[in-house]
Amino acid sequence: MLFLLLHTLPLAAQTSTVRITEPFARATPTGRTAAAYMNIQGGPDRLIGASTDSAGQLELHETAMDGGVMSMRPVGGILINPGIATRLAPGGLHIMLIDLKRPLKEGDNITLTLTFERAGKRTVIVPVARAGAPSGPSVAVPGLAGPR
């Protein structure tokens, strides 16, 4: 899914709407970091940042195999392509919450403000699922599955 991670693609001057579905984070009983996941549809646009009151810092991350080891690294932006759901999911793209103010507990909600290059700021309520949950607490929407 590297083709989704374009950092410098100029976007033509057109309007963008983005739709965010299935947001979730995973409970972190002890850690100081967590990740938030969701599907984003719409565009063309690019997710370029995020903020929250729940953590000191947020970063956009991708997960990659690096010499047989799964590792994460920051990306400058996440491209939202029309007609295809961009999937932020465990093992792939995610929003990293760093320096959590307090551990995330199952059943909590955290509020993220996402910044898109075109669509501007969008506030998303992100429910916290159990630790290790493969997906969010609600049922996946048919047809929303993007590249994994």
Query: Is residue 47 within 8 Å of residue 88, measured between CB atoms?
Result: no
d(CA 23, CA 10): 28
User: 67 is written with which tokens?
Assistant: 């010499």
Q: Which of 72, 98, 131, 133 binds Cu ion (CB under 5 A)?
A: 72
User: 47 is written with which tokens?
Assistant: 């997710």
Least distance to Cu ion, CB of residue 59, Å: 7
Least distance to Cu ion, CB of residue 62, Å: 8
Q: Which of 26, 46, 61, 118 binds Cu ion (CB under 5 A)?
A: 61
Segment near Cu ion (CB under 5 A), from 53-61, 79-87, 97-105, 136-144?
A: 53-61
Least distance to Cu ion, CB of residue 97, Å: 9
Q: Which of 5, 6, 11, 96 binds Cu ion (CB under 5 A)?
A: 96
CA proximity to 42, closest of 21, 61, 59, 62? 21
φ/ψ (deg, to 5) at 10 = -75, 135
d(CA 122, CA 69): 34
Segment near Cu ion (CB under 5 A), from 44-52, 96-104, 126-134, 137-145?
A: 96-104
List of residues contacting Cu ion (CB under 5 A):
61, 72, 96
